[in-house]
Structures are given as C-alpha cells and as structure tokens.
C-alpha cells in the first residue's frame, strides 16, 4: 500500500502491506443529521439544588448550566466535518487483526484503526501512543501536529508514530459479541499489529488511563516492547509508607487521588459491575452520553490547560467577563461524545473496567504493583507527573513497579496530558526515547 500523503508510506518492515489499508473518516450525512436531531430533541433536566451546585461545593457532578450550553453549541456551532478534516489531514489506516484465544490467533479477526506518521529514516524508533476512557485517538492529534511541524521532512522524522484506537473504541471494531474480552486481549492484538502487520522488532509505548494498563501488560509480556512511558500510574502505597516523608507536591497529589477514589469513582464501579446497563443508557441518547463523559473532561483536566473562555474576546477579561467554562474543552467533549455515538462504541469501551475494579471480574490483578505489570530491566520505564491527574504516585512508589529511568514533574496539566499539554508530553517522550539505546546496549 502506498500513498502520496506525507508520512503515509508504510515502513519497509511491514508484512503483507495489502493487509493494511488507508482509511478516510467520512460519516454519512444521514448519520450527522440524525445525531443533530437527537441532540435538538433531547431534554435538559430542570434546575435543582444539586445540578446548580447551590452550595458552591462542586461535589454533585455536572452542572445543568454546562450541559445546556453544550447542547446549544452542539446544535448550532459544533462542526463534525471540521473534525473529520483534522483527522484526515494525517494518515489513517485499518488492519484486520485476529482476536486471540488462549494466547493464540483465533479464526475471528476485527479491524483496528490507527493514525500514523511513518518515517523514511532507516533507524526510526516506533513509538505508540495509547489512549483510555473516555478518550480516543483524538487526544494525540496535537502531538501529531507538533511532530509534523518539527520534522517536516519524512527522512528526518526520528520515529514511526502509531496512534491506535483501542479495540472496542472509536474507529476500531468491537470485540466479538460471543466471548469475553479484556485488557490482556487488547495488549495481544496491539502487539500483533505492531510486530506482525507493521513488522517492528521493537517499539516504545506511551500511555495514559486504560492505555497505561495495556502498555504495562505489553511491557511485561511482549519482547518487542522495550520501553513504557506513562502519564497515569495507579500504584498502591508501599508497606513502609510514611506521609511525613512526602514533599508538598506529593502530598497534594495524594490528596487529589483521594478525592478521586472517594468521591469521583462511582462511574467506574458501574462500568465494572453493570456495563450492559450503562452501555444501553449511553447509546440511547447523545446528550446523555455527553453528560456522562463531559463530566470527566471537566473534572480531570487542569483549569490552567483550558481556562474559562472570555465572553467579549478581551485578552485579559475579569472573572465576570468569562464564561464559567472553556469552550475549547467543551468542543473536545462534544467531539468525543460524537465519536463514541457515531461509532457505536460507548458500550464496548467499558470492558476494561472489569479488569481494573476490585469488584469487577478481574479483581485487582492488573494493578501496577502486580508482577504481571512490572516493566523490569533491561526494559525501561518512564513517568511524567501532571498535577491534575486523578491517579498520582510519588516517584519512589512508581520505581517499585519497574525499571524507572525517567521521571519529570510538571506544574500544570491533568489526566488528558496529550490534549492538555502536548508540547510538554512530547518533550518528555523524546527525552525518554533517547535513553533506550543506552538501556539496550
């Protein structure tokens, strides 16, 4: 397969290039008309104490004001076709990947989508960016843009950049309906894509949220994965934990994590124990889906990444001259909800939670402290600390779960680091990749 689009030529290592096809995102007009109609006809609940945050505590969830404003914006201003143009400005592909059965290829295959920037440099390092829930490959578009601007010559790009839609998410197919599917299956399929389809003998994973768990599994189990960089790291306190030994940054991070685990994690319990119900509800109405994931976009990001939008366009407006939200972030939440709804993936995006929740089927087996998820030498582990992340860990905690060779704290940024602070995250990844040859030698 070849293409005239920059960065679109598959690497020479690719096996059976005909099995990887170029893909263009183009949602039918009828589907866009239908979703806009559903949004227009959707009801926003009347005002009450909780949805107006009358006590100003911000503890009850999404505000009615934000959802009403987002509904109006989706109806009258949000342009899905512009999002398509942005996606299609970069090379996109699909490849049929077998679904594993007991660690071996089965007779069933599904298509995995990925955006990519392929280099013509002979020693380019494959770097794979993995999203989570309620995210998508959309999160990494700013990094794709930064890379294409920094390395406008394909022969000078130091990396083969691959940004998949996880199985069951976004533009990838849903897993088979006749069998269970978990994080280990997703890890197997992504390794198959990278090593069997694209022919990479080694690669680096960068991941957040669900992608951090899948990335750790790949680092622990698959020889091709030589390095794992995380911006989200769930680790349990060590047995000898003494809070008095923490500095103020780590204390604030643990307080943020405590807020998440005590007051904001109910959604995950629902995902892990009642995914059928949640999936059916979310796909019944696009505005309901926006409310469910929009709350996370608002709560899990750093206000410094998406400051409230001025009403008048003034460069330094006072608080009263700003909306109580960021329109830029609202557009990202709308785009995410539209993708999940149009792709029909809201129900199948919930499967990881049975592995991630103690009350789910998988228990706590995939927690980062588990030996099954350690990234041990000679492989290397990196961690970027963004202060508004919802699962934060001190450096020495992370180091107990792998060969930590890179650690950096940032003063702003949250859970969606690639979307919020793309330049900072990319700089970290580039620094981390430079450590790979020394670790392998």
Residues near 351 by beta carbon (within 8 Å), at least 6 away in sequence: 168, 175, 181, 182, 275
Angle of CA points 310, 316, 321, to nearest 5°: 40
Would you say 3 and 154 are in contact if contact means Cβ atoms under 8 Å apart?
A: no
Give CA–CA dist 221/200, Å, rounded: 16
Give CA–CA dist 9/6, Å, rounded: 8
Q: How far apart are the first and last CA of the chain?
A: 34
Angle of CA points 82, 88, 89, to nearest 5°: 90
Q: Tell me phi and psi for residue 164, to 5 degrees.
A: -80, 155
C-alpha neighbours within 13 Å on the C-beta side of residue 20? 27
The catalytic site residues sit at 209, 353, 415
Give CA–CA dist 421/424, Å, rounded: 6
How many CB atoms neighbour CB 46 within 10 A?
Answer: 7
Helices (H) and strands (E) in the chain, counts: 16, 9
How many CB atoms neighbour CB 126 within 10 A?
Answer: 26
Return the structure tokens found at 66: 């934000």
DSSP 363: T
Angle of CA points 406, 409, 415, to nearest 5°: 100
Angle of CA points 438, 440, 441, to nearest 5°: 65
* Residue 180 preceded by cis peptide, ω within 30: no
Considering just the CA atoms, what is the radius of gyration of the chain in Å?
A: 21
Q: Which 3 state secondary structure label does DSSP give 194?
A: helix
Q: Is 75 exposed, middle or buried (0-12, 13-18, 19+ CB in 10 A)?
A: middle
Would you say 106 and 186 are in contact if contact means Cβ atoms under 8 Å apart?
A: no
Q: Among 72, 81, 161, which residue's Cα sits nearest to residue 425? A: 161
Give CA–CA dist 373/216, Å, rounded: 5
């Amino acid at each position: 397969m070849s293409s005239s689009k920059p960065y679109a030529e598959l690497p020479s290592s690719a096996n059976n290039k005909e099995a990887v096809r170029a893909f263009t995102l183009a949602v039918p007009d009828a589907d866009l008309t239908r979703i806009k109609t559903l949004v227009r006809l959707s009801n926003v609940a009347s005002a009450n104490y909780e949805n107006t945050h009358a006590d100003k505590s911000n503890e009850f969830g999404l505000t009615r004001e934000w959802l009403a404003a987002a509904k109006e914006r989706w109806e009258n201003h949000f342009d899905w076709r512009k999002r398509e143009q942005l996606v299609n400005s970069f090379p996109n592909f699909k490849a049929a990947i077998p679904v594993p059965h007991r660690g071996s290829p089965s007779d069933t295959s599904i298509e995995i989508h990925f955006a990519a920037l392929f280099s013509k440099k002979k020693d380019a390092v494959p770097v794979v960016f993995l999203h989570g829930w309620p995210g998508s490959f959309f999160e990494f578009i700013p990094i794709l843009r930064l890379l294409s601007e920094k390395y406008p010559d394909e022969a000078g790009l130091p990396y083969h950049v691959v940004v998949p839609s996880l199985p069951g998410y976004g533009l990838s197919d849903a897993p088979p309906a006749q069998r269970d599917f978990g994080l280990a299956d997703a890890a197997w399929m992504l390794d198959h894509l990278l090593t069997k389809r694209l022919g990479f003998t080694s690669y680096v994973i960068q991941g957040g949220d669900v992608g951090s768990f899948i990335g750790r599994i790949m680092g622990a189990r698959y020889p091709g994965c030589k390095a794992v960089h995380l911006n989200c790291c769930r680790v349990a306190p060590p047995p000898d934990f003494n809070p008095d030994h923490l500095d103020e940054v780590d204390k604030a991070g643990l307080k943020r994590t405590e807020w998440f685990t005590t007051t904001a994690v109910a959604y995950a319990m629902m995902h892990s124990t009642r995914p059928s119900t949640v999936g059916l509800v979310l796909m019944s109405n696009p505005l309901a889906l926006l409310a469910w994931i929009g709350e996370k976009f608002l709560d899990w990001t750093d206000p410094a990444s998406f400051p409230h939008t001025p009403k008048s366009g003034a460069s330094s407006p006072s608080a009263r001259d700003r909306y109580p939200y960021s329109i830029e972030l609202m557009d990202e939440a709308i785009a995410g909800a539209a993708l999940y709804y149009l792709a029909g993936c809201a129900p199948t995006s919930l499967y990881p939670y049975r592995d991630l929740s103690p009350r789910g089927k998988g228990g706590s087996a995939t927690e980062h402290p588990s030996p099954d998820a350690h990234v041990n030498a000679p492989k290397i582990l990196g961690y970027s600390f963004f202060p508004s992340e919802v699962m934060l860990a001190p450096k020495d905690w992370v180091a107990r779960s792998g060969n930590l060779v890179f650690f950096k704290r940032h003063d702003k940024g949250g859970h969606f680091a690639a979307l919020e602070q793309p330049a900072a995250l990319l700089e970290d990844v580039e620094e981390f990749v430079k450590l790979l040859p020394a670790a392998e030698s």
